[in-house]
Chains A and B, each alone.
Chain A
């Protein structure tokens, strides 16, 4: 009964699509597919539109019973096997993701951060959150250490992460969006980010704001010997660290790692952080 009520409620909410042209609806879904995660429509909204389009076009799908039989006969037996086809053997090894992007922004950004699996290092630790991410750093790098967090749990919660409200709404005026919402999707991690460019600088000056979802990976951020500043706002610890004239801000919301990286001051970094909650 509850499901029927929910369905009716959902249909009422999405009834605005009912009067829209089929082609427009198809374009809407295609645009949504390419949109950054923060701007995508809710999954059930997208499926409602897809259902509407199929209905209008009178699409004759494969018989449900036959499809299900095929699933249990051919696909289901693979559930315990390694996904050899879609696991790209040539995917970037752990640590390459950031470096490959750095190549795109060669030079200026190259000093920002580093991804690697460190050997044993003497590290300082601060903060322990219920999701099991411990902030760690030594003289050279900063990283979040994942402690006992179930990867699958994160996979499940990711789509529901309230990412739109977890990124800064303010950036220093000298920066303008250079590349809007890029998403790098890999088999084991997703990196979604916006690149801003300093319009007042003759030299390349890039500001990155992004989200990294990498359950089994560790990102190391370059830092110099200056003390890491822990700025707490709305029960979230924002770690502000420096590497000469670069500033990296990193925080965790229990689901994904967020970062701001660029030539900004500590004051600007804090203003950006505050703008998340505006």
Chain B
């Protein structure tokens, strides 16, 4: 019983610490992130940063840190880079070069694929086999339409965790498709 009380007390202290940091730094961190990201992504970068700060092992050390604000100031750069990199990575997956369909020889976003592909390519099979269209649409919303995972989660009525898992799974399936197509 004592152990449970101690745990609860610790969690409460950690939460209070994060809340205090949040109150003091959220606005400046967001102002900084907005210089590099869209509003939705900038908000997500800051939320991700505080999430990282709360992770087991990190929070304990951060609470003992002489200047946790400086850690946040440095961390926001990593958080911004992480989102940028992730968006780029996903954007690459929703671009596709039709084998001999695009007269300009360029790449097209996913919405153009069905119309652009020549009739002798069996698009249906491709879609059916790997739920391509569904994954494409999810990835497109994240990487091309610039929505944050929180926005997508909200639109789809699922938790943030579910949304992120779906995106990660879609990424894997699309990667397999890309490898097959190559």
A46, B73: Cβ atoms under 8 Å?
yes
B108 to chain A, nearest CB (A): 23
**10 cross-chain pairs, A with B, having the tightest CB-CB distances, nearest first:** A43-B73, A54-B31, A50-B32, A159-B74, A50-B31, A85-B164, A84-B168, A79-B54, A47-B28, A75-B51
Given contacts A62-B43, A89-B172, A152-B58, 15 further A-B contacts (CB under 8 A): A30-B35, A43-B69, A54-B27, A61-B30, A61-B31, A70-B150, A71-B22, A71-B51, A81-B161, A84-B164, A85-B86, A85-B149, A89-B168, A152-B57, A159-B74
Q: Of residues 39 to 73 in B, which have CB atoms within 8 Å of A's CB atoms?
A: 43, 46-48, 50-51, 54-58, 60-62, 65, 69-73
Q: Of residues 161 to 181 in B, which have CB atoms within 8 Å of A's CB atoms?
A: 161, 164-165, 167-168, 171-172, 175
* Chain B residues in 8 Å Cβ range of A40: 77
Partner of A29, one of B35, B74, B149, B161: B35
B6 to chain A, nearest CB (A): 18
B178 to chain A, nearest CB (A): 11
B30, A78: Cβ atoms under 8 Å?
no
A76, B74: Cβ atoms under 8 Å?
no
B153 within 8 A of partner (CB) = yes
Rounded to whole angstroms, the CA-CA distance of A160 and B70 in the bound complex is 9
* Chain B residues in 8 Å Cβ range of A33: 35-36, 77, 80
A235 to chain B, nearest CB (A): 23
* Chain B residues in 8 Å Cβ range of A54: 27-28, 31, 34
Q: List 22 A-B contacts (CB under 8 A).
A: A43-B73, A44-B73, A50-B31, A54-B31, A64-B22, A68-B19, A68-B23, A70-B47, A74-B153, A74-B159, A75-B48, A78-B164, A81-B161, A84-B164, A85-B86, A85-B149, A86-B86, A90-B175, A156-B58, A159-B70, A159-B74, A185-B78
Contacts A46-B73, A79-B51, A79-B54; A74 near B31 (Cβ below 8 A): no
Interface 1/0s, chain A 15-27, versus B by CB < 8 A?
A: 0000000000010
* Chain B residues in 8 Å Cβ range of A85: 86, 149, 164, 167-168
What is the interface of chain A mostly: helix, strand, loop, or mixed? helix
A156, B36: Cβ atoms under 8 Å?
no
B81 within 8 A of partner (CB) = yes
* Chain A residues in 8 Å Cβ range of B77: 33, 40
B38 within 8 A of partner (CB) = no
Listed in ascending order, the chain B residues whose CB lies under 8 Å from chain A are: 15, 19, 22-23, 25-32, 34-36, 43, 46-48, 50-51, 54-58, 60-62, 65, 69-75, 77-78, 80-82, 85-86, 89, 149-150, 153, 159-161, 164-165, 167-168, 171-172, 175
Contacts A68-B22, A79-B51; A74 near B160 (Cβ below 8 A): yes
Partner of B32, one of A47, A81, A150: A47
B165, A64: Cβ atoms under 8 Å?
no
B167, A64: Cβ atoms under 8 Å?
no
A77, B57: Cβ atoms under 8 Å?
no
Partner of A156, one of B27, B32, B62, B82: B62
Rounded to whole angstroms, the CA-CA distance of A76 and B52 in the bound complex is 9
B43, A67: Cβ atoms under 8 Å?
yes
Contacts A26-B35, A53-B35; A75 near B28 (Cβ below 8 A): no
Partner of A50, one of B35, B55, B56, B58: B35
B57, A75: Cβ atoms under 8 Å?
no
A71 to chain B, nearest CB (A): 5
Rounded to whole angstroms, the CA-CA distance of A178 and B55 in the bound complex is 40
